[in-house]
Amino acid sequence: MSIKGLGLHTGAACQVRLLPAPIDQGRVFCRTDLAGHPEVTAHLDSVVQTTFATTLAKGEARVGTVEHLLAALHALSIDNLRIEIDGPELPALDGSSQPWVEVLDQGGIAAQPAPQRPLRPTRHIEVRDGDRVMSIEPAEQLSLEVEVDYPHPQVGQQRLSFQVESQAFRAHLAWARTFGFASELETLRRQGLILGGSLDNAVVYDAEGLLNTEGLRAPDEIVRHKTLDIIGDLSLLGQPLQAHIVAVRPGHTMTIALLKALTADPKNLQSTD
């Protein structure tokens, strides 16, 4: 299975191949354009940057904007996969997880003769940064309550409650696109970000309203995409989570901070297998 396109932030062209992997290998990125084809494991320990996207690295090998693919893998319960990429950033495609779901479905998803090993938090844990808050507590399955609040009249405050399950993800979340505001674009480009961004791979608002002529895919597409991003980042724990998460004004940095707080003490997690 392969797919190609431009990176949202770098603007670099790349091709990605998704290949079967053995039990317990996990999700592993391989930079085929670098000498020795170095690998980067999709794990919390590999996170090096969370500014507007999640970037993983090991040594000189970096892989950026991994969250949309990882969200699809997590929701579809694909635990072991080799991801070969010939550039520094996964392609933006249409800005959502939908193209990844489609290519995974086309290639087929094989069951492996080993059970998943879910983890469950043992207590309530919360992280804060000003008016941003994320918390996690034990539950029977992974569910999220997400709230966003942007000072734009066509976005404002949006809320979503979502139980993470394969069919629900396909139907209600996978297609939600990344987004931005025209007033911020020039500053971001000076910082070396959004170099591959366009109306083909993002929802963009200016002061007067939505620039995408085709409109939104849902009135609350923004909070749905934020929920998708959280699922992708949560996958970096490396095992399924049985937890309830509440996120107010979330972002990649907050989700990674929550995971680090969760894993700081082995007593915070218990195996449910």
- Would the pLDDT of 105 be above 80? yes
Per the prediction, the chain carries an average pLDDT of 95
Based on the residue annotation, tell me whether 252 is a catalytic residue of this protein: yes
- Would the pLDDT of 52 be above 80? yes
- Would the pLDDT of 273 be above 80? no
**pTM here?**
0.96
Catalytic residue among 9, 68, 244, 252: 252
What percent of the chain is predicted at pLDDT more than 70? 100
pLDDT digits (tens, 9 = 90+) for 125-151: 999 999 999 999 999 999 999 999 999
- Would the pLDDT of 36 be above 80? yes
Both tokens of residue 26?
A: 């996990």
